[in-house]
Amino acid sequence: MRKVFFATGNPHKLKEAKRVLSKYGITVEQLTVKRVEVQSESLEEIARFSLEHVMREVHLDGVVLVEDAGLFIEALNGFPGPYSSYVFSKIGNEGILKLMDGVENRRAKFESVVAAVNQSRIVTFRGEVLGVIAHEAKGGKGFGFDPIFIPYEGDGRTFGELEVEEKNALSHRARALRKLAEWLTGSSKII
């Protein structure tokens, strides 16, 4: 069984990663290290910068990864985008819903970029999911903006209403992690 080290302080992201990657025979170990994020409009640039910082802090033999994600709302010109974590900490779901009050165009997408280093080579994998912003927060599962995001591919429930396995079938993060797993294993077959 292969192991990767995931530099994250978010237990929800760790849980999702463990579930997705285990299907490829990959175990995930949390790497507790302070991540530094550069201010950028590019999730890929943020993830690469964070990974380079992590690699200066720790010296591990194996695959190390970081993940950065954002909610991009069309009517708000992509806001909060790469600033999603900060915006969530300041105004939360209710603040976004207030910004969207009376807005007809509720299209949005979640994007995720996983940056991984294997034998000093940095690679990135992107995943996205399209959907809409709900009119009210629903569900106590997931984290962050999950209770206000309804994926198009789902059954009308928000990410906050979905169990981890249901969310992983659709989510931006799971899609990026599956691409990572396929790259690491050299195949697209799930075991």
The model's pLDDT over 56-66, given as tens digits with 9 standing for 90+, comes to 888 877 899 99
pLDDT of residue 14: 94
Catalytic residue check, 68: yes
pLDDT at position 40: 86
Q: How confident is the model at residue 34 (pLDDT cuts 50, 70, 90)?
A: confident
Above 50 in pLDDT, residue 42? Answer: yes
- Cβ atoms 47, 176 nearer than 8 A: no
Cβ of 120: how many Cβ atoms within 10 Å? 6
Output the pLDDT for position 191.
37
Summarised one tens digit per residue, pLDDT across range 93-131 is 999 999 999 999 999 999 999 999 977 789 999 999 999
Averaged pLDDT for residues 153-180? 95
Is the confidence at residue 161, as pLDDT, over 90?
A: yes
The pLDDT score that the predictor gives to residue 62 is 83
Angstrom distance (rounded) from CA 33 to CA 53: 10
CATH, domain range 2-185: 3.90.950.10
Residue with tokens 């993830």: 47
Tokens of 159: 């990410």
For the chain, give every domain's residue range.
Answer: 2-185
Window from 12-16, 84-88, 187-191 with minimum mean pLDDT: 187-191
In this predicted structure, what is the pLDDT of residue 37?
A: 72
Assess whether pLDDT exceeds 80 at residue 36. no
Query: Considering only 13-27, 36-50, 73-87, 99-113, which range has the smallest mean pLDDT?
Result: 36-50
Q: How far is residue 159 CA from its own chain's centroid?
A: 12
Question: What's the confidence (pLDDT) of residue 190?
Answer: 45
Spot the catalytic one: 61, 68, 146, 155.
Answer: 68
Q: Return mean pLDDT, the chain.
A: 92
First to last CA, the chain: 11
pLDDT-above-90 percentage for the chain = 80
